[in-house]
Amino acid sequence: MTQPVVLSGGTLIDGKGGPPLEDACLILEGRDIVAVGRRADLGVPDAARVYDLAGKTVLPGLIDAHVHLRAYAGTERSDFYLWGQATFLEEQVLHAAANARRALAAGVTTLRDAAGARVEIAVKHACDQQLLDGARVIVAGFVGMTGGHGDLFTPPAVERRPYQTADGPDECRKLVRTYARDGVDWIKICTSGGVLSLGDESEWRNYTLEEVRVIVDEAHALGKRVAAHAHTRAGVRQALDGGVDSIEHGSALDGELVGRMLESGTWLCPTLAVSEHIHAIGAERGLPEAVLAKNELVRTSRLESARAAASAGVRIFMGTDTSSILPFGRHAWELELLVSLLDVSPMRALQMCTRDAAQAIGLGDRCGVLEAGRWADVLVVDGDPLADIRLLQQPERILGVFRDGRLLVDKGLV
């Protein structure tokens, strides 16, 4: 019999957007939350493990819905472009697992990998089966064209390429089916060029509308949602025409596209942190001038687009684009940027990385909100993130992290 866990006396932010509940009580049994309410109204189950959280804040585990787990996790500096080509896939799995653990330590209980394959699926299974402690992983299998954004992270002369390519409707449909057989949760495509890829421009088209529609059709037929990387108006328009479920980056939205996203309910994941990080440290890291120039263009347009989308009420969820460039563990920086750059309230920003992110990635009935019947993904912090959202970036303030009811990060809960 699983011992019940009681989180008692803290201030509860449940993820729904209402006022915090003071002197709250949260009861966990096994994987699930079984009761939420005021401490005075809930009885403590027999033989429960009780944590006195007076003066602490309890909130849902954070969700970073745009990361790249297959990234260097060591302590020495690595070359962003060469590491993946010079490292055995078996070794990359270990780095990806370390990144899932590092995210968990930062209060993130769920990650969506935005360009995954079997490496990321392996980490997903290892964490789900409790072989390793790490955040839950949702994997988006990457379907990209030859010479497209994903393909151009690797020099043309290198035969081993990190992402599979598919060209034409038949190849695209088959690759979606292959990923579904492997066990991915989502499909990821590109409808424009990128920033960190070499040899392309952000405004280049990736995939024809026919190819996008085939990918979306096959993915939806197999119960998978589709995310589209898009930096340009043409890229966003093509993704919307193709029926994708989320726009990643969305760096060039205009009134027409914002209106279409509102009408269709398409989600936006603006990934502000990665552009700000490249702006701040890109030259120091030795990123090519062409990359830095592309980043400055999309950084400005992305901010304008995200502001317009937020103001209009487009459904927005949090993702950072964390990778070897933006290290794992800094996920909560995106919350600060949502507040400071998009002028949303701390409570609204928290919703974007809890309830809204869960809904966007297909887990809206399982996590993202603290209520009975949900998975017990719970974050305990020292202080009030509504008063200062930046405290979630301070490791010493992350006192405890529960995933599926298991206390996996414990920094002195009593």
Tokens at 344, concatenated: 């949303």
State the Cα–Cα distance between residues 12 and 10, nearest whole angstrom: 6
Contacts of 379 (CB under 8 A, 6+ apart): 58, 59, 60, 61, 62, 107, 109, 398, 400, 401, 402
Backbone angles phi, psi at 26, to 5 degrees: -125, 125
H helices of 184-288, in order, are 209-221, 233-242, 255-264, 272-281
Q: What is the pLDDT along the chain (414 residues), one digit of tens a residue?
A: 689 999 999 999 999 999 999 999 999 999 999 999 999 999 888 899 999 999 999 999 999 999 999 999 998 877 888 888 889 999 999 999 999 999 999 999 999 999 999 999 999 999 999 999 999 999 999 999 999 998 888 878 787 777 889 999 999 999 999 999 999 999 999 999 999 888 888 889 999 999 999 999 999 999 999 999 999 999 999 999 999 999 999 999 999 999 999 999 999 999 999 999 999 999 998 899 999 999 999 999 999 999 999 999 999 999 999 999 999 999 999 999 999 999 999 999 999 999 999 999 999 999 999 999 999 999 999 999 999 999 999 999 999 999 999 999 999 886
Backbone angles phi, psi at 140, to 5 degrees: -105, 110
Which of 235, 265, 115, 242 lies closest to 187 in space, CA to CA? 115
State the Cα–Cα distance between residues 405 and 216, nearest whole angstrom: 35
